[in-house]
Structure 1
């Protein structure tokens, strides 16, 4: 068993690079549109409507963004549930990405909600609808965001040299690790349940009673995919050692998850008879085929042990998993969503710039933390 007391160090290096400044410009542009949203109202910067009350802010920042941010959840399952201690060194950076992803998802909800000043009502017991799946998602996402920062706090406390607080947090971590596994299991599946409520508005190629299970499986697969993707990115762009063997082992898990997902999804389509919609004209069949093709590409690469040992193929297959899972959510929540005649939606410039700003801010924060705080395990 690998020693689970790894040494973590900041990687150092110059922070204020041209890429960092470019990201900062995107953040400033997004901040401008965000300011307009809060001064002039949501209609000033978005094309949201009664037919499409959820645009890219919810579809990407929350539904897709939290799935992409499932790296911490996926690695916690691997290390703490399946006792694979050799992957423990990758937990901290996975938690960092997850904490950022969930925090910014919460921030995007504040931008998206019309009467944001009443958002606190969600947490008041007298206003809670205990039969609401949306309430469960809101409470779980909020609590999980807090849990992620508590799980990640040892890195911050180490950087601050707060030894007493660090000892206290480490003694309590086992409780938060348990919560950190339970909560995303609940809300990632519940995000799929939101579509069941939408009924016929969701295209039959995506509407199914088992969509909560499909959302959960793909979220876990995307979590492993983003861990591989980020690790390879750090190795190439931040001068880190390639952990090809460890990443290959993580990659080996993904095709099994995707195979289960495809068997369930395609089997359900065949049994329900909704597979007939694959042969109808329109954009939806091509979107479905693109999703499946991306998943199959990842399966083809990652089931082959030799291909998994090649960083380039590992990188592209991990990216394919993340893109396929994101497209699946975009199709179900937005592109293949039809509220009825007369309703159309395409994101406004303000919506797109705010979303790009959120992504840019996350990358900037990631670069700051890995360069200035002990996040990544020290290269041997």
Structure 2
């Protein structure tokens, strides 16, 4: 496989996916403004028993999990010296930057008195005994680190070679931080619900292993999203880019090991703590557990079929299944399997759902726009440039 340096994809900025998703972006922006002006009750169904809901469970915990592609590849490429995955780093890093930024935005709009957020950055007001504080600090710094890691892409596009060389001299330190920080806050995201104690269903509550399970799902989602997004991008390129299926095949083997480890720890904890009776109650929690387990185990069987690892369709389905299983586990321990008692109930309001959908639309639109403008995707020699020249000479093309 002959892969050359990344180049802008080119083409129309106002493509049909962008035009289709643009109204959702506008609706999201209007609803966020409404929340900031009229209070969180104007758009959310949160209450005293459920101080956080969809924005934290999905937008933050699941969203940042989906955004772990850049971090997972950083471990593979820079920590374990697997340089063959380097062409996948930039697309994954761009998706991670958007995912974490929107996760941070979801925290901002979820805070009741958001005007007090500046106190978080003032040393005299640090609450160092809080898991939330550690998570917020790591996330804030990591977003800045990812922006620095992505700067070479912008410098290349602008032709700032001197600035690029200077940045590369300290890039080893930036990458080291980028590998460390998510390891800390992704495990802490599991620690968040330890304090909830018996309010989290026993199948998901684990005082010893929630941080480890959260970290494992971060790795699983990180490698899976690279395969999932890569398959979508390659389908969109229709042969105009480098064929990266061999890389996705290798990543699938790494992810399989993580899946087996996750399932072994999960079932081992259940057996050790004598929770097996909950598995066969026939209630919604048992159904959720087996759905989650089936989604995690399906790729282990699917990718064993003859030729499946070389077939982009099987790799796509395997990645989607792993993402869905890990996402369901995170949604369950943070929201679906949480019962505060006291007669409290929660179901997200329509506005909450629209804001969450809008976040996804923002990320997709921004990703599509930037891969057309900046050297993000790896390409065969001259492919992207040739395609861009063809499009620019079309009489109906407008930037």
Q: Does 1:214 align with 2:213?
A: yes
Q: Is the 2:101–2:143 contact (alpha carbons within 8 Å) kept by the matching residues of 1?
A: yes
1:164, 1:50 → 2: CA distance?
55
Residue 258 of structure 2 corresponds to which residue in structure 1? Answer: 257
Residue 335 of structure 1 corresponds to which residue in structure 2? Answer: 336
Residue 79 of structure 2 corresponds to which residue in structure 1? Answer: 81
- Off by >4 Å, runs of 4+ in structure 1: none
Residue 392 of structure 2 corresponds to which residue in structure 1? Answer: none
Q: Does 1:301 align with 2:302?
A: yes
Q: Is the 2:28–2:358 contact (alpha carbons within 8 Å) kept by the matching residues of 1?
A: yes
Residue 365 of structure 1 corresponds to which residue in structure 2? Answer: 366
1:305, 1:113 → 2: CA distance?
50
Q: Is the 1:62–1:105 contact (alpha carbons within 8 Å) kept by the matching residues of 2?
A: yes
1:17, distance to aligned residue in structure 2 (A): 2.2
The number of aligned residues is: 378
Q: Is the 1:254–1:302 contact (alpha carbons within 8 Å) kept by the matching residues of 2?
A: no
RMSD: 1.5
Q: Is the 2:302–2:314 contact (alpha carbons within 8 Å) kept by the matching residues of 1?
A: yes
Report Cα offsets for 1:286-329 as digits up to 9, x if no partner: 00000000000012223557311111010000011111111111
Q: Is the 2:242–2:378 contact (alpha carbons within 8 Å) kept by the matching residues of 1?
A: no
1:123, 1:197 → 2: CA distance?
24
Report Cα offsets for 1:113-171 as digits up to 9, x if no partner: 11111112122221112221111100000001110111111001111222222111111
Q: Does 1:118 align with 2:116?
A: yes
Q: Does 1:229 align with 2:246?
A: no
Superposed, 1:345-356 pairs within 5 Å as 345-356=346-357
Secondary structure of residue in 1 paired with 2:169: helix
Secondary structure of residue in 2 paired with 1:7: strand
2:304, 2:167 → 1: CA distance?
39
Q: Does 1:180 align with 2:181?
A: no
Runs of 5+ unmatched residues, structure 1 = none
Q: Which moved more, 1:189-198 or 1:120-129?
A: 120-129
1:303, 1:204 → 2: CA distance?
33
Residue 29 of structure 2 corresponds to which residue in structure 1? Answer: 31
Residue 393 of structure 2 corresponds to which residue in structure 1? Answer: none
Would the alpha carbon gap of residues 79 and 337 (structure 1) be closer, same or farther in structure 2, given more than 3 Å must change? Answer: same
Secondary structure of residue in 1 paired with 2:195: helix
1:262, distance to aligned residue in structure 2 (A): 0.4
1:350, 1:324 → 2: CA distance?
26
Secondary structure of residue in 2 paired with 1:43: helix
Report Cα offsets for 1:187-206 as digits up to 9, x if no partner: 00000000111111110000
1:360, distance to aligned residue in structure 2 (A): 0.2
TM value normalised by structure 1: 0.97
2:106, 2:4 → 1: CA distance?
35
Secondary structure of residue in 2 paired with 1:347: coil
TM value normalised by structure 2: 0.92
1:19, distance to aligned residue in structure 2 (A): 2.0
Q: Is the 1:141–1:183 contact (alpha carbons within 8 Å) kept by the matching residues of 2?
A: yes
Report Cα offsets for 1:274-293 as digits up to 9, x if no partner: 12111224211000000000
Report Cα offsets for 1:76-131 as digits up to 9, x if no partner: 11111111111111111111011110011111111111111111212222111222
Q: Is the 2:242–2:379 contact (alpha carbons within 8 Å) kept by the matching residues of 1?
A: no
Residue 286 of structure 1 corresponds to which residue in structure 2? Answer: 287
1:342, distance to aligned residue in structure 2 (A): 1.2
